[in-house]
Amino acid sequence: MVETLVVSPDRPGAFVTIGEALEVAPTGSTVVVEPGTYLEALRLTGREVTIVPAQGSGTVTVQAMAAHASVAVVRHGSLILRELTIEGGDAPSVACLGGRLELVGCTVSAQRAPAVRIGARSEFELTKCTIGPAQVGVQLDECRGSIVECEIVDIVEDGVLVRYAEPVIRNCTIADCGHRGLYVYEYARPTIIRSEVCRAGQAGVDVAQSAGALVRQCWIHDVRGPAVRFRAGCHGSVEESHVESSGGAPIVVEPGAEVTVREPLTPGRTPVGAASSDTVVGADAERVAELLADLDALVGLERVKSGVHSIIDELQVNEWRRAAGLSVGMSGHHLIFAGPPGTGKTTVARLYGALLKALGVLPHGRFREVSRRDLVGQYLGHTAEKTSAAFESALGGVLFIDEAYTLSRATGTGNDFGQEAIDTLVKLMEDHRHEIAVIVAGYSAEMQGFLDANPGLASRFTATIEFTNYTPEQLSEIFERMARASEYVPDPGLREAVLTHFTLLPRDESFGNAREARKLFEGVRRAHANRLRRLGRVPTPEELMTLTAADLDAHLQR
């Protein structure tokens, strides 16, 4: 759930510095920063926090507190920075060492250090950022992630350094580098797609020390060394790319390197660089098939599966049409999930986000779940602020609003701002219709009242998918899957007893579907542990694994 902390030098009750707010921010929270320049040394460990400006891009500048200190360092946590201007000195401006870092729409610079440094098996996403000036633009060392639609410019040495990493660099511009545009070394294997590399003092892309690289649909030009160079012992391919060099052969493959060069492109045939942000990213067909298989493997939900398949089929065909130069109708990704609790709505929403990422429709499938308390504030204007912060934290992925109908339900206090949250969402959903998937969920009948709360709300959603209660047989199968996933085996007597239990279980408003199966499994597991504890000896491996009808009876009799 999202909690909002406000930073403002002037507002009563707000935090004065970002560091003060970050120090107490609980995991999953958002720090909203009022306009200004802040001297900070931000440190995050073991939590997930988002920092955003209250009034949009260009309004908040965060500077290093000292020349030798980084502006922000993440260790074993997750930090999301949006639309901030970050200015460092002699240490990396932003560093992630064993956690997760996401920069969206930020401008990051440093003086005598990398602007961004990521290592120690971290995960990262850099999207629509401007990086530079700096000594090195981005330094990647034993990490994984993507750099998408970024400009890396005005770099003293190398634009991007890649070591022991396999990043995806897509639709980026890397320009005005004193040494190389990209230096790939020590077993790194980046994929560089639809990017422009230009005005480098040495090679555009230099691959060395047993590394590899895939260069596809790129434009590399106006560099003083080779446009692309593969040194001995390296491997990779240059596909459909236009390469030029003012310093010798455009592509240099040293003896002992294994490189494939395929069909060069002419400039302009395919949009490249950060300016080509509307270029459709190719789908990962293998990943799409894998995720659809995961969807189909869910217990029951046949109508749900059919509905999601239909949406994915349409999105896939639209991408093929767009790639073929054909017209594509206006569409969004927002859905309504209607039905009782415990029927897989959250699970399907996560899969849907991952499918949109695999199709190249959204840059990532990150999932943000919120409820009424995360969107509705305590005073006039607070709700719009909280709703916008939650929405922006999910851009590029899925915003899942559980029990959304509670936003249109008066609390009886006389100061209910749920309607303000709905009105704010309607505008944001339209303004960012291709940048996010908003999924609202709740009981079928009550969701209609939610849609009636704003005349334009219903039209923002592409489809409604109905979730129904699980049958006793399906609940029994869910119970058994939970058991086997935890390395337990229900014996035949327990299977029959579980089916009977779910058949007789009342289905009133409190009925929780798969949650009932989870509660039952946990209860049976505890009863099993109690039974084995009373044996007076160490149980056999078979006894440790086998759940019986007696365990179910013991649980139900408590």
Task: Give phi and psi for 94, each to the nearest 5.
Answer: -130, 130
- Do 433 and 481 reside in the same domain of the chain? no
Instruction: Quickly tell me which residue has 């580098």 as its tokens.
Output: 177
- Do 367 and 454 reside in the same domain of the chain? yes
* Domain presence at residue 391: yes
* Domain presence at residue 161: no
CA-wise closest residue to 331 among 341, 346, 316: 316
- Do 360 and 394 reside in the same domain of the chain? yes
The token pair that represents 14 in the structure block? 């707000």
- pLDDT at residue 326 in the model: 67
* Domain presence at residue 15: yes
- Tell me how many domains the chain contains: 3
What's 374's domain CATH number? 3.40.50.300
* Domain presence at residue 548: yes
Domain boundary residue, one of 450, 466, 482: 466
Position 255: which residue type? Answer: P
Domain boundary residue, one of 117, 148, 179: 148
The token pair that represents 327 in the structure block? 């017209």
* Domain presence at residue 60: yes
- Do 404 and 440 reside in the same domain of the chain? yes
Domain boundary residue, one of 441, 466, 491: 466
> What is the biggest distance separating any 2 CA atoms in the chain, rounded to whole angstroms?
83
* Domain presence at residue 231: no
- pLDDT at residue 206 in the model: 96
- Do 537 and 428 reside in the same domain of the chain? no
- Do 432 and 538 reside in the same domain of the chain? no
Task: Give phi and psi for 475, each to the nearest 5.
Answer: -65, -35
pTM of the model: 0.56
- Do 456 and 487 reside in the same domain of the chain? no
- pLDDT at residue 287 in the model: 83
Measured distance CA(317)–CA(384) in Å, rounded: 36
- Do 426 and 482 reside in the same domain of the chain? no
Instruction: Write out the residue range of the structural domain in which residue 391 sits.
Output: 291-466
- Do 368 and 509 reside in the same domain of the chain? no
R_g of the chain computed on alpha carbons: 27
Measured distance CA(229)–CA(220) in Å, rounded: 12
What's 18's domain CATH number? 2.160.20.10
* Domain presence at residue 221: no
- pLDDT at residue 268 in the model: 46
- Do 22 and 111 reside in the same domain of the chain? yes
- Do 87 and 114 reside in the same domain of the chain? yes
Mean pLDDT per 10-residue interval, the chain, length 558 residues? 80 91 91 93 92 89 92 93 94 93 94 94 92 95 91 95 91 94 94 92 94 91 92 92 80 91 62 59 74 90 90 81 64 85 90 87 80 80 82 85 81 61 87 84 86 83 89 92 90 93 81 85 93 91 92 89
- pLDDT at residue 269 in the model: 47
- Do 426 and 484 reside in the same domain of the chain? no
- pLDDT at residue 57 in the model: 83
